Structure 1
Amino acid sequence: MRVAVLGGGNGCYAAAAELSESGHEVWFWRRDAEALAPVLANGTIRVRDFKGTRDVAIAHPTTSLEEAIGAAEAVIVPLPAVAQPGLAAAAAPYWRDGQVVFLPPGTLGSILFARAARDAGNTADVSFAETGTLPYLVRKHGPAEIVISVYATRLPTGVFPARNADHAFAVLEQVYPAVERIEDALSGGLMNAGPIIHPPLIIMNAGPLEHFPAWDIHNEGTQPSIRAVTTALDNERIAVREALSYGAPHFPLADHYATDGDEWMYGRSAHEKLTDSGDWREKIDLKDHRYMREDTALGLSMIVSIGRWAGAPTPIAAGLLAIGSAIVGEDLYANGRTLEALGLAGLDRAAMKEFLFNGY
């Protein structure tokens, strides 16, 4: 299949490499020509994972967004949610009928991308899908070298508009066989694991993160009291999903740490593989890191706003968001990825269901 991968983050390089190695013809776009230069020059990305180390050929590395989107049947956008508005606007003129755009994860980015296309006057019938996590636990080890610690085994995915779900999944299952169909894009947004795992880890580890030159929030930072808060926060997410009549499985984060029962999105022993890699021992700037700017500011504001709309209280999420606002010195909810910001807060439940299905 002809696939475009858009962006220059860890997950983007992993997607370009894995999908190339899986036999797809990949257009790998990055805006920054200087940063992409090693891939442009050599046409490869070096990958190290459980299969060993090898150089993976990338068919079409490019700095032309129009070229990448124009060539593709499926477009993969594994970028942080903070990068979505700019890319959504830049890509808006280029979408064409039948394309499937995959946002892993989305934070309701599927709706944002669709709105940007409409605002640009592009009426193409495009399917925007979002899931709960990146398909990889991955870090760059050089300008064209990545280490993938874990591959996702389950990717619960919702499509916007939901009327296109059959077509979207027929395409996505060829690219990511791990996708699992769920109700719609709002359900997909409420599968996002980042706002559950990361805000408690950075906020409750604020002292050591600011004191030590590097700290692994997933290793020494994941203590019982922090896990208890994470579980309470995840219970709020699940309660919001249930208030909206979304069905199980809800992919509780506790399954990520469990050794039996239902597998989580990354399968068994993912947490141990992550901590054993050492790649998440890092310096985190609490004001600027994506765990604050994406998962707290955008992810928690999304959950709090949906909870308010659905009549499902989210005091833990709201409390963490308030503490995050104090740390960065701004109102993160006011600037967040909320139903208000998306222009959806005034819809009643029947109108929301129709919007999610039809796209208008």
Structure 2
Amino acid sequence: MKRRPASFPACASAESSTRSVRNNFSGRWCRMNKMALKIAVIGGGNGNFTAAAEMALAGHTVSLWSDAPGRHERLFSDRSIHLEGILGRGEASLARVSQDPKEVIDGADVIIAFMPAYTQEKTAHIIGPHLEDGQIVFLCPGSLGSYLLCTIWKENGWLKDVAVAEPGTLPYLARKTGLNTVQVSGRAVRLPVGVFPARKTEEATGVLKELYPAIHSVENAMSVSLLNVGPILHSVLVLLNTGPIEHLPAWDIHNEGTTPSVKKLILAQDRERVAVRSAMGFQSHPYPFSDHYDPNSENEWMYGRKAHTDLVKSEKWREPLTFEHRYVREDVKCNLALLSSIGDFCGVETPIADGLLTLIGTITGENYRASGRTLASLGLADRTREELFRILQEGI
């Protein structure tokens, strides 16, 4: 049975929760308004490649860290990324590509780390020793990774006066199509962002809007974690496409794998997400996933009204899939387990999410409620509601 809390504290609006004292963070922010930003990109995946290329082409000074010089040999030698797709075509020159995170992070205004949630403990140890007061760390996806990283940084004596922001989705729909080439088929037109601690929201989102104008703030890091529809979408698509995934060398779960019946289950699970978010007291727009599927919806979804149609037409998501894919390791183990645990916390039944955790866990041989990212694994399950919201607002 889900436990039912007696009541929730009033949840401040995104605007009212952002007031804070401008100190070291403010000084860096003022300097950033006068010149191009210095950006550190941590990792060489699809999202990081795209961010590095777009920001370099926009005139910012971009350095990229990678621990895979063999896989990124051409990037290390050329320091360039070729960008294609809806953002246009261009050859982006990076200021530095290095295996040394200190070389990349030193003096950076913004640190972009669009890496899977299951790698965030490693990411914390890569970034942490080199943090400086006033920096903004931009993670993806929204999964309370901001709290996790700050906890690790504090335990190791690395925590500085920083803001850690998380979006509701990756700013791009992108795939690498060559060693140094990335093709973008979508870009967020509405990008909700939560910040930890929430008292730094105004400053952090003010800077990040210089990079991503579609950004708008939500209440806090938990609010934005409950806007992450990756677990809602991918858990269903993987389970209901088990046959093709295990039988065929490649499969497009967003094309042939998304049938009318599959959509019904996705949207039913999404209603659980929206119910949990409402019960937690969050009042910012919930981004129901039905808007993503409906190009004529009154409310535009994060990637815009044509995003789903364009995604299917692009056929860039036909790929080999296994139950080791990030759709499971990230979206089920980290994000769906987190959603279910927040449902437990606020007393909202999530039978579809719980069932998917059980069924996919049966296939993989793993109990995601025990091994996944949950409020319990983050050390938050036994907090009172007031304590939880105070931590999200003020930090640790």
TM-score by length of 1: 0.97
DSSP 3-state at the match of 2:227: coil
- Distance in 1, Cα, partners of 2:128 & 2:107: 15
Query: Residue 212 in 1 paired to residue 226 in 2?
Result: no
- Partners in 2 of 1:197 and 1:223 — Cα distance? 13
Gaps of 5+ in 2: 1-36
CA contact 1:4–1:71 (8 Å) conserved in 2: no
> Structure 2 residue aligned with 1:159, among 186, 195, 201?
195
Runs of 4+ in 1 over 2 A off after TM superposition: 50-54
Matches within 5 A, 1:108-119: 108-119=144-155
Seen in structure 2, the aligned counterparts of structure 1 residues 51 and 318 have a Cα distance that, compared at 3 Å, is closer
Q: What is the match of residue 50 of structure 2?
A: 14
> Retained in 1: the 8 A contact 2:218–2:284?
no
Matched, 1:171 2:191: no
Deviation for aligned residue 1:323: 0.7
Determine the structure 2 residue equivalent to 1:321: 357
Over the aligned positions, Cα root-mean-square deviation in angstroms equals 1.2
What is the distance in 2 between the residues matched to 1:278 and 1:50?
A: 15
The answer to whether structure 1 residue 282 and structure 2 residue 315 are counterparts is no
Counterpart of 1:306, as a letter, is I
Structure 1 match to 2:71:
35
Deviations 1:314-344 (Å, cap 9, x if unpaired)? 1111100111100101112211110000000
Question: Aligned partners of 2:101 and 2:75: how far apart in 1?
Answer: 16
Q: 1:97 aligns to what SS in structure 2? A: coil
Counterpart CA distance in 2 for 1:121 and 1:289 is 33
Counterpart amino acid of residue 309 in structure 2: E
Structure 1 counterpart SS, 2:366: coil
Per-residue deviation, 1:114: 0.7
- Which residue number in structure 1 is paired with residue 394 of structure 2? 358
Give the Cα–Cα distance (whole angstroms) in 1 for the partners of residues 105 and 346 of structure 2: 36
Q: Specify the SS of the correspondent of 1:137.
A: strand
Superposition deviation, residue 50 in structure 1: 2.7
Any idea what the Cα deviations from partners look like across 1:7-65, whole Å, max 9, x if unmatched?
A: 12111101100111122111111111222221121121111113543322122222211
Partner of 1:196: 232
Letter of the structure 2 residue corresponding to residue 265 of structure 1? M
3-state SS in 2 of match to 1:121: coil
1:37, 1:208 → 2: CA distance? Answer: 34
After alignment, is 83-92 or 230-239 more displaced? 83-92
Paired with 1:155 and 1:120, the residues of 2 have a C-alpha distance of 32
* Preserved contact between residue 87 and residue 184 of structure 2 (Cα < 8 Å): no
TM-superposed CA distance for 1:122, in Å, is: 2.0
**Match of residue 166 from structure 2:** 130
Question: What amino acid maps onto 1:155 in structure 2?
Answer: L
User: What SS does the corresponding residue of 2:393 show, helix, strand or coil?
Assistant: helix
User: Deviation of residue 6 (structure 1)?
Assistant: 0.7
Q: Hey, what does 2:102 align to over in structure 1? A: 66
**Offset of 1:205 from its aligned partner?**
0.9
1:359 CA displacement: 0.7
Amino acid at match of 2:311: L
2:144–2:222 CA contact under 8 A, matched in 1:
yes
Cα distance between partner residues in 2 of 1:338 and 1:205: 26
2:132 is aligned to 96
CA contact under 8 A between 1:127 and 1:159: conserved in structure 2? Answer: yes
| Contact 1:297 1:335 survives alignment (8 Å) | yes
Counterparts of 1:188-337 in structure 2 under 5 Å?
Answer: 188-260=224-296, 261-286=298-323, 288-337=324-373
Q: Aligned partner of 1:323: which letter?
A: L
Separation in structure 2 between the aligned mates of residue 259 and residue 268 of structure 1, nearest angstrom: 5
**In 2, distance between residues paired with 1:65 and 1:39?**
16
Query: Size of the alignment, in residue pairs?
Result: 359
Q: 3-state SS of the aligned residue for 1:338?
A: coil
Percent identical among aligned pairs is: 43
| In structure 2, distance between residues paired with 1:143 and 1:235 | 40
| TM-score normalised by structure 2 residue count | 0.88
Alpha-carbon distance in structure 1 between the residues aligned to 2:91 and 2:204: 31
1:339–1:345 Cα contact (<8 Å) kept? yes
The aligned amino acid for 1:47 is L
Residue 181, structure 1, aligned to residue 221, structure 2: no
Q: Which one-letter code corresponds to 2:314 in the other structure?
A: S
Determine the C-alpha separation between the residues in 2 that align with 1:184 and 1:99: 18
Superposed CA deviations along residues 112-154 of structure 1, whole A, max 9, x for unmatched, are: 1111110111241110111111111111111211111111111
Cα shift readout 1:185-238 (whole Å, capped 9, x = no counterpart): 010111112111111001011112112222111011111111111111111111
For 1:292 and 1:33, the matched residues in 2 are separated by: 27
2: CA distance, partners of 1:342 / 1:231: 28
Q: Secondary structure at the match of 1:72?
A: coil
Q: What residue ranges of structure 1 are gaps of 5+ in the alignment?
A: none
The amino acid that maps onto 1:59 is: A
What letter is aligned with 1:65? P
Q: Which moved more, 1:151-160 or 1:169-178?
A: 169-178
